[in-house]
A and B are shown apart, each in its own frame.
Chain A
Amino acid sequence: MQPARDPHLSTSTETGGDALVSARGLTKRFGDFVAVDNIDFEIHRREAFGFLGPNGAGKTSTMRMIAAVSPVTSGELRVFGCDPGADGAAIRTRLGVVPQDDTLDLELTVFENVYIYGRYFGLSGETLRARVKELLEFVQLHERKDSKVESLSGGMKRRLTIARALVSEPDLLILDEPTTGLDPQARHALWDRLYRLKQQGTTLIITTHYMDEAEQLCDRLVVMDRATIVAEGSPLELISKYSTREVVELRFPIGEQEKALERIQDIASRVEALPDRVLLYTEDGDSALAEVTQRDVAPETTVVRRSTLEDVFLHQTGRTLVD
């Protein structure tokens, strides 16, 4: 359980409505390399906001600027109404960060990792002893509190990192690729905890290259590619705006895709040919598939499915999310 917090505490310094984070023309360069190119976004209180995009899209650079650990090259960024360049420590006091690498001290125990982190925030030993126990129960690691972190599984380490990030009762929790490298079971366990946090009113920022993660957790998201934002909205909005209701996936025997493509080109409102399959974007997948069969085209396998954010990404960039 995450302890209840005083709602008045967190609103005092913000300006500009209920935007916890706002960016205008935000840019990050490393030498000649442009990691984030002139992006705008706004993140509101109590929302779960996603940055969806492939590796190298600029998600982590954006997160690091919001977390006040990486200077902004140009543009304007406000977090809780403050400038990360000037008030970094004040911002970080109110943030919880789950970085891509867990950055846990492997030599120390589960308890000590959260406790020492809490001390960095200036919390008293007494406060921490109670709070760490509560948080370890929340992430289901309380039985392992005296184990060395070294002995934990990947999923447990991730959950411990989340407990650590919550120790200061942050107003905003930033999660950078929270489930990358985890097995499906560990991913679902983690999603469940994040979902609970969201229900309790914690504002979440999540970066991910998994479209299912973004669909499950995010109220609103931006799709990033090559340092820029290519689409923005709720998962449903994005899908209805950039894709059709259903998608038919067709796989052909090697060498036959091209020939088949000519004969089915006009069946759907949009046809996307990937190296390994053809996607037909349509409102009615079953009748599109029936039409395919009628034209004597014989794919090896067929799938009719609903549109996903992956399709949105493909529509906007011409590429798939995970190569």
Chain B
Amino acid sequence: MLPVPLRVVEANARAYRRTWKGSAVTSFLGPILFLAAMGLGLGTLVHHSTRIEALSGFSYLAFIAPGLMAATAMQTAAVEGTWPVMAGMKWIKTFHAALATPVEVSDLVLGYLLWVGIRVLMAATAFAIVMMLFRAVPVIDGLAGVGPAVLTGMAFAAPIVAFTSWIDRETKLSTLFRFGIMPMFLFSGTFFPVDQLPGWLQPVAYATPLWHGVELTRAAVLHVPEQVSAPIHVAYLVALIVVGYAIALKGFERKLQP
């Protein structure tokens, strides 16, 4: 018999079969549009910049590709960690249905996070394939970014699922995207090195989980040394997963088994 958390994964995968086409198109189209517009379009301008040395000798396309890969992992995790969780808890109540069976709250949270991990893996792999098509980096190097990107995604998934499980009004989800996800996407080293920011803003960027994820992913793909040692990045991201899981557990219990 399948372990209980994996039954939760299976249920999500079966439901996903209904919508996979649309989501697959998005997974490829997003990276294509970004790499074309930023990497190729904006890149030509960047290459004429006097501060080109900030990119450590890489083309702008090669520089942003791993950064965008990590950011895509973050965004996939954020989407999967918000509306579907709200739907399961409140709108269509499929989480309530699962908990009427032998599934425990911990199985549900763990199983759901594993499922988000699979979705992030799918998105990161699609991104690696697009990187290949753009010849941004050598083929194998692009795939080397998938692992760090998935870790990055999970470091967002757990706290975001926790956040969704605690809030009472869904309008707070848009707030999360507007004031959390979007600024991180722009300022955490995805599009330019954080040391190009004004000095007072740099520590803020270093504190964001996305910066750690971008650094890890970029180091894996471009074979450049991280600014901070890799174990610190990993420890920070893993800590977010553990803390997020624990808070999500409490949030699920409070909402689903009052």
Contact of B15 among A92, A93, A108 (CB under 8 A): A108
Closest to B100 in A: A97
Residue with the highest number of chain B CB atoms closer than 10 Å, among A103, A106, A112, A122: A103
CB 8 Å contact bits of A97-133 with B (1 = contact, 0 = none):
1010101111110001001110111100000000000
Instruction: Decide if A119 touches B100 in the complex (CB within 8 Å).
Output: no
Contacting A at CB under 8 A, from B54-85, are: none
Closest to A61 in B: B258
Q: In whole angstroms, how far apart are the Cα atoms of A103 and B2 in the complex?
A: 23
CB of B49 closer than 8 Å to a CB of A: no
Considering the chains assembled together, what is the distance between the CA atoms of A105 and B93 in angstroms?
8
Evaluate contact between B102 and A105: CB separation under 8 angstroms.
no
Q: How far is the CB of A135 from chain B (nearest CB, A)?
A: 15
Surface stretch bound by B, among A63-71, A75-83, A219-227, A303-311: A63-71
Q: Looking at the complex, which one of A92, A104, A108, A122 makes contact with B7 (CB distance below 8 Å)?
A: A122
Q: List A contacts of B250 (CB < 8 A).
A: none
Given A71-B257, A89-B102, A122-B102, A101:B93 Cβ within 8 A? yes
Residues of A within 8 A of B1 (CB): 122
User: Could you tell me the distance between the alpha carbons of A69 and B10 in the complex, rounded to whole angstroms?
Assistant: 22
Q: Is the CB of A70 within 8 A of B258?
A: yes
In this assembly, does B227 line the interface, its C-beta being within 8 Å of a C-beta of chain A?
Answer: no
Give the nearest-CB partner of A123 in chain B.
B1
In the complex, how many residues of chain A place their beta carbon closer than 8 angstroms to a beta carbon of chain B?
30
Enumerate chain B residues within 8 angstroms of A30, measured Cβ to Cβ.
258
How many chain B residues touch A (CB < 8 A): the figure is: 26
Contact flag A103-B96 (CB < 8 Å), given A69-B257, A70-B258, A116-B11 = yes
- A155 CB to closest chain B CB (Å) equals 19
B11 touching A106 by the CB < 8 A rule? Answer: no
B181 part of interface (Cβ distance < 8 Å): no
Name the residue of chain B whose CB is nearest to the CB of A94: B102
Determine if B99 and A168 form an interchain contact, defined as CB atoms under 8 angstroms apart.
Answer: no
Bound complex: CA of A108 vs CA of B97, how far in Å? Answer: 14
Knowing A120-B98, A122-B1 are in contact, say whether A107-B15 is a contact too (CB < 8 A).
yes
B11 with A120: CB separation less than 8 A? yes
A112 touches B102 (CB 8 A): no
Q: Flag whether A88 is at the interface (Cβ < 8 A).
A: yes
Is there a chain A Cβ closer than 8 Å to B14's Cβ?
A: yes
Q: Are A117 and B257 in contact (CB under 8 A)?
A: no
Tell whether, in the assembled complex, residue B100 and residue A99 are in contact, meaning their CB atoms are under 8 Å apart: yes
Query: Please, could you name 11 A-B residue pairs with CB atoms under 8 Å apart, sorted by A?
Result: A103-B93, A103-B97, A104-B92, A108-B14, A108-B15, A116-B10, A116-B15, A119-B7, A119-B11, A120-B11, A120-B102
- 10 cross-chain pairs, A with B, having the tightest CB-CB distances, nearest first: A120-B101, A103-B97, A103-B93, A122-B1, A97-B100, A89-B102, A116-B11, A93-B102, A103-B96, A105-B94
Q: Which residues of B contact A (CB under 8 A)?
A: 1-2, 4, 7-8, 10-11, 14-15, 18-19, 92-94, 96-104, 256-258
